[in-house]
Structure 1
Amino acid sequence: MSLILMVCTGNLCRSPMAAGLLRQRLAREGLDEQYTVRSAGTWALEDRPASEHAVEVMAARGVDISGHRAHGLTSADVAEADLILVMSREHEQMIANTWPQYRWKVHRLSQVAGKRRDVEDPYGLPIEAYRTCADVIEDYLERGFERILELA
């Protein structure tokens, strides 16, 4: 089973939403037994719940992240993952600088989708920013789905 790790900053919005949406897509394709999807944050405070807006936006899309608890990225996470999908260039650089031996595992979600724009952080913004963020993530996952499977 391949492990795909989604990474953002606080592990409260983007990476839990991305993980939930990818799990949903994998299940729809009958591939959920072949892949495990987790999430972590580069600056996460352990055990904080996902943002209320993130939970609400995901629920509207049929994805339940209400039980999510933030997890700070560890060397074990990076070593164990087969593929690490990050939301921004800063996350990519942080992982590459901290664990250069695993740089090859790290890809920006935007890049696997053939796009250039990073996934912007909606934290602290109105719910519409979370909807926009979820739209971007969903679009990138759709465009990059086959590439994600190849990389994992």
Structure 2
Amino acid sequence: MRHVASEQPLDMGHQTETHAWDAELVPGPRGRTRRPEPGCPVEVALAAVSGRWTTLLLRELMGGPRGFTELRTLLPELSAKVLSERLRALQERGLVQAERLPGFPVRTRYELTEAGRTLRSLLVELYATGEELLRLTHAGSGDE
């Protein structure tokens, strides 16, 4: 049985904040969500590096502009189809820009945008965190 008089409309939030947020984990109001939100900074960062091969592609582009063939050489197991898809997705996210070079055959050079270059510290931290997790969970295969 519902007690209609005591219910708040669905769109009405609480008037006071009672949750004690960790100021390091959630330094601003955008992260104070109860579910994944597109404007949450953590969700934005995760979306930027999501997708198989994306982190490796970003890593290679951190070294400077690269052509499609050069990227295929650096990541030989990455198919041309998936490389094209990842580059297109990174362009749509505003992380990579493409420049068509004159001449025949037409060549394209890919370069990180300023937004794409900001991902460097995230990739460095992801690597360090992964190393630590492997060490702590003994998941490493003795490659130490």
Question: Does TM, scored on the shorter chain, surpass 0.5?
Answer: no
Measured against the shorter chain, the TM-score band is under 0.3
Higher helix share: 1
Larger Rg: 2
The structure whose RCO (Cα within 8 Å, separation 6+) is larger is: 1
Higher strand share: 1
